[in-house]
Amino acid sequence: MEKMKAEDTIFQRMQFMNQRVSGLQAEDLYFYNQPITELHGGARVLVNGREMTMFASYSYLGLVGHPRINEAAKAAIDRYGTGTHGVRSLAGSLVLHTELEETIADFKKAEAAITYSSGYVTNLTVVSSLLGRGDYVISDKLNHASLVDGCLMSGAKFLRFRHNDMSALEERLQQIPSSATRLVIADSVFSMDGDIIDFPRLVEICRKYNAWLMIDEAHSVGVLGKSGRGIEEHFGMEDAIDIKMGTLSKTIPSVGGYVAGRKDLISFLRHASRAYIFSAALPPAQAAAAKAAFEVILDEPWRVEKLRRNAELFINGLKERGFDTLATETAIVPVVCGSDETAFAMTREVQHKDVFVLPVISPAVPPGLARLRATVTAAHEESEITQAMDIIEEAGIKIGLIGG
């Protein structure tokens, strides 16, 4: 590698990152990509040969490994094989894809839906297909990276507003020329903090300023609303979102992303979004698993209720033990540690007691707000949650994060 000179910035970036990784590995503080080797049922997993209770899962309703969903995936493989014949518009469209999109549209109470190969790609392609130069996109400061990347890729003027602050959003909208097209984007539940967007005010402001509204429901499907349909159901509002985006990789135990909305929006995306036109369709097993999962959510409503109870127990219990859990009200529960080192040390202590949690550090969260990013699911039993909280408390006392 001729080019690897000390003054080369690519080389320096690589060296900086790789030295940080080896330093953490040497101190037993490296928790990246730990392999899960088996699912043991409920919230139990085998990680690196140790049975642990999973507190880092996005499978909020505990649907990974659900027999009906597994069966649907196996039957799809038997019928169609493991791949498609290419992109949807050429030869890759299966009846399964249409059925999945109809199921999503029904679930989200929308006229139609379109699917893509990941949630990340969905946000990139949808925002950049809808907007271009001269348009405006206004985004909450804590929106997911895929939304930020979609905004940057679109070429539209990119404005951000203070996290979950509707007066700041309104100020931004007032700065935009009245003739300009404007799209407001927010997560429904924020992926690092677990708090819920002030949806009623957000909708009111978008209507007042004639702005399109796109909501990323990655962390609210299956979590919010009595039947788990998401943020509109939670606030008892219908038809409030123009572009209802979600993933098939969290509550839905598959992979992929979708947008649901009006027929004319979905038809436009089907003919204009590059990730639909130039990238292969979801594999049959994943499409079938996703479809079955939406059906299971509606057929087993106890899961949504159990998740709600578990989240309440976990958040209140951690607060009572002296931890700062920010403004979460959902299944994502940050346990604020402060420095990256404290977050790493907490993770090590807790994992050594067989509770699987992971740290999140800057730049994913602001410096000084490093945390354990714990998640609770419907697969947890109350006793497992209490035991995990006791272990986190013991670690917090040992490290000096909370008083003894």
Binding site for ligand PLP (CB under 6 A): 118-120, 123, 144, 146, 187, 191, 216, 218-219, 247, 249, 257
Q: State which residue, 76 or 360, has the beta carbon closest to ligand PLP.
A: 360
Q: Which residue is closest to ligand PLP by CB?
A: 119
Q: How far apart are CA 206 and CA 242, in angstroms?
A: 10
Region for 167 from its dihedrals, namely left if φ exceeds 0, alpha if ψ lies in -120 to 50, beta otherwise: alpha
Q: State which residue, 257 or 261, has the beta carbon closest to ligand PLP.
A: 257
Q: State which residue, 187 or 195, has the beta carbon closest to ligand PLP.
A: 187
Which listed residue (97, 244, 250, 380) is catalytic? 250
Cβ-based neighbours of 54, under 8 Å, separated by 6 or more: 43, 44, 45, 356, 377, 379
Distance in Å, CB of 216 to ligand PLP, minimum: 5
Active site residue 219: yes
Which listed residue (57, 117, 154, 191) is catalytic? 191
User: Which of 95, 79, 76, 86 is CA-nearest to residue 284?
Assistant: 76
Distance in Å, CB of 194 to ligand PLP, minimum: 11
Q: How far apart are CA 375 and CA 387, in angstroms?
A: 15
Measured distance between the N- and C-terminal CA atoms of the chain, rounded to whole angstroms: 54
Which listed residue (219, 244, 291, 380) is catalytic? 219
Q: State which residue, 164 or 191, has the beta carbon closest to ligand PLP.
A: 191
To which residue do tokens 């140790």 refer? 50
Distance in Å, CB of 26 to ligand PLP, minimum: 29
DSSP string over 217-236? -TTTTTTSSTTS--HHHHTT
To which residue do tokens 């080369």 refer? 8
Q: How far apart are CA 228 and CA 216, in angstroms?
A: 15
Distance in Å, CB of 287 to ligand PLP, minimum: 14
At 356, give phi and psi (nearest 5°): -90, 100
| Tokens representing residue 237 in the block | 């509002």
Distance in Å, CB of 360 to ligand PLP, minimum: 12
Cβ-based neighbours of 33, under 8 Å, separated by 6 or more: none
Distance in Å, CB of 58 to ligand PLP, minimum: 7
Q: State which residue, 120 or 276, has the beta carbon closest to ligand PLP.
A: 120
Q: State which residue, 256 or 396, has the beta carbon closest to ligand PLP.
A: 256
Stretch (H or E) spanning 304:
helix 302-320
User: Are 259 and 185 in contact, with CB atoms under 8 Å apart?
Assistant: no
Distance in Å, CB of 190 to ligand PLP, minimum: 8
201 by Cβ neighbours in 10 Å (0-12 / 13-18 / 19+) ranks as middle
User: Are 316 and 308 in contact, with CB atoms under 8 Å apart?
Assistant: no
Stretch (H or E) spanning 296:
helix 284-299
Q: State which residue, 183 or 395, has the beta carbon closest to ligand PLP.
A: 183
Give me the active site residues, please.
Answer: 191, 219, 250
